[in-house]
Structure 1
């Protein structure tokens, strides 16, 4: 891939500053942008090792310390993972610690591993046209193709989550119900493997609602049962929205957990 490296002089005024960032940005931030661009372009896949700090320093013609600072920030943002004695790797949702960043509904016992993965029942997986609000959220035009999925997630045979997902149709061309139901790992890991789309962060809105008749039937609860409504927009690199997910959670035996820092 073609990249314009900063000059060997580690200063913000160096010639050849990355066009994607202001000229006055610190040099390590410019290197961070270049590394992020390589991640976005798929030069290094999720789970793969990236070149060493020495190799990257030579590639970008900067000091190793500048590269290390850029990688430190990317690791803090959970985009890269450092492994002692092995190197630095592209984070993947197949790894447990990354997976649990996006898993918020926890059994009251607190033991996620004992509960095991959710059983997935895909009720619908179809191509559709984006409505105005879906298009706006996903950065599309009204009428653009989307993949629409409805599924129920159960734990121990008990329906617990009713989810509706909307995904950009061009990025997820060919996605079908069999893939959604049959993949044994996290859904976001399947998106990485099958479609090269990595979700790196998400924003959520939460409110309490009462189950309507259809929702109650699907979740096997009484109508008007209190549910937790969670709307999530998940983003890939450079804050490109790639998923709108609206979930209804039964919280009789589970709770929603968030960690603030």
Structure 2
């Protein structure tokens, strides 16, 4: 980790996330303690504590007072709307066959004032806009619209957008989303050519940021209402609510 330019705690957070995604620790299993994490990676206990706190706040871990940290259950598309997870990875892990259809890809000289402001673009700043249809077992479940600062995504082509966008950002452009600010509300999905979708939708709209607060994209997602439900979990009066989008497998 020493050769990286990101802060040590951010590198360690990402490493732990990758190990959790790979199944090194199973849901319900105890996670290494602050002392163990510090010794294993050669960092201070203060750094290890920061890592554990971040993983817990994003829904990866559950803190049990006097006992330790345990791996959280992950049966939903998003354990929390504050933690971003790849649709492609999620669907595959749940035994589904995910696929993506690129509907539109366009480089523009300008975007709307709202999108430009959200992306922090100067006047005349170029953007890339795209529309993608996300499917599970050939069944359309998500309509995705996304606007990107063109300077961050040079030579972006159609073929690259047929898989995981998060993986593309990370592996090709070195862009890692660390935070997402989004709002969710009920909506009627827009009409897209060739998409027979009559169900109401859950509309998620917001911005993704890297560790330095730089906007990486602005997105509007419509989740099909008969395939997804929104749930709220509050473990105590002082706890932060955990919102989750659940995929209904019986539809």
Same fold by TM-score greater than 0.5: yes
Match of 2:100 in 1: 120
Residue 131 of structure 1 deviates from its aligned partner by 2.4
Distance in 1 (alpha carbons) for counterparts of 2:133 and 2:85: 15
Q: 1:125 to 1:170 in 2, by over 3 A?
A: same
Q: 1:140 to 1:169 in 2, by over 3 A?
A: same
Distance in 2 (alpha carbons) for counterparts of 1:72 and 1:173: 37
Q: Provide the secondary structure at the position in 2 that maps to 1:166.
A: strand
Residue 71 of structure 1 deviates from its aligned partner by 3.7
Q: 1:47 to 1:175 in 2, by over 3 A?
A: farther
Residue 218 of structure 1 deviates from its aligned partner by 4.5
Q: Tell me, yes or no, if the aligned pair for 1:119 and 1:155 is still in contact at 8 Å.
A: yes
TM-score, length-scaled by structure 1: 0.59
Q: Give matches, 1:42-191, under 5 Å.
A: 47=15, 67-78=44-55, 101-103=83-85, 113-128=93-108, 129-181=110-162, 183=163, 186-191=164-169
Q: Unaligned stretches of 5+ in structure 2?
A: 19-36, 61-74, 234-240, 243-251
Match of 1:221 in 2: 197
Q: 1:99 to 1:231 in 2, by over 3 A?
A: closer
Residue number among 212, 220, 226 corresponding to 1:246 in the alignment: 220
Aligned length: 190
Q: Provide the secondary structure at the position in 2 that maps to 1:170.
A: helix
Question: Cα deviations across residues 3-59 of structure 1 (Å, max 9, x unaligned)?
Answer: xxxxxxxxxxxxxxxxxxxxxxxxxxxxxxxx9x93179x9696599xx968x98xx
Q: 1:162 to 1:135 in 2, by over 3 A?
A: same
Distance in 1 (alpha carbons) for counterparts of 2:86 and 2:174: 24
Q: Tell me, yes or no, if the aligned pair for 1:166 and 1:245 is still in contact at 8 Å.
A: yes
Match of 1:30 in 2: none
Residue 113 of structure 1 deviates from its aligned partner by 2.9
Which region of structure 1 is more displaced relative to structure 2, 128-137 or 164-173?
A: 128-137
Residue 144 of structure 1 deviates from its aligned partner by 0.5
TM-score, length-scaled by structure 2: 0.61
Distance in 2 (alpha carbons) for counterparts of 1:227 and 1:123: 19
Q: Provide the secondary structure at the position in 2 that maps to 1:238.
A: coil
CA RMSD across the alignment: 4.0
- Which structure has the bigger radius of gyration? 1
Question: Cα deviations across residues 113-160 of structure 1 (Å, max 9, x unaligned)?
Answer: 334252100011221123211110011123201121100001111111
Q: Unaligned stretches of 5+ in structure 1?
A: 1-34, 58-63, 82-95
Q: 1:38 to 1:230 in 2, by over 3 A?
A: same
Q: Give matches, 1:202-213, under 5 Å.
A: 202-212=180-190
